[in-house]
Amino acid sequence: MRLRTGVLMTTRTPDPDLKLILGSGSPRRLELLAQIGVTPHAVRPPDIDEDPHKGELPRDYVNRIAAEKAAAVAISDDEVVLCADTTVALGRRIMGKPADAAEAAQFLQLLSGRRHKVITSVAVKRGDKIWQKDVQTSVAVKRLSQAEIDWYLATKDWQGKAGGYAIQGPASMFILWLNGSFHAVMGLPLPESAGLLTAAGYPVTKGLA
């Protein structure tokens, strides 16, 4: 796990009474946590400004946003919060959630026939301490015809998706290969998330007992 300023690597003793708060309104992240038997006590999506800073690189951006999300969620002493942020990076370009179908079409045209990176950063906060990790995955998209782009836009599956697509939905037929974490592309890398929660003292495996 890479050490960054303000990111704590110490591990807390497991606390069976610790409650998990999911700091995200994403149903995909909720579903992914359920795959490892983790059910949040509550869902509290933070409201922050997610606009990139001028000249900000994709990895720096996604790590900053995840940390700011975690910092923005109010928790009590018996709670731990997990937040995450995902972005699609085409070189130095940050491709967030498209504002409309026209921007989604532009994103798909740019990704067509090219490789890009999907970066997801996870931040876990307990008290005033934050544990954080980012995961980068390389993804190759086949060359898309205009008919394929129009078809995908009509599904509306692009809405609310970084880069204008979701790998687990209809756009899966556009993905030639990936190198990295499928779950991270969906929005939450499970091994890394479980590791951060464990470091913060949340007993991840209690849901599997």
**Residues catalogued as catalytic:** 85
Neighbouring CB atoms inside 10 A of 93's CB total 14
Distance CA 185, CA 168 (A): 9
Q: Are strands 115-126 and 129-141 parallel, antiparallel or unpaired?
A: antiparallel
DSSP string, 10-52: --PPP-TTPEEEE----HHHHHHHHHTT---SEE-------PP
Contact between residue 101 and residue 172 where contact means Cβ atoms under 8 Å apart: no
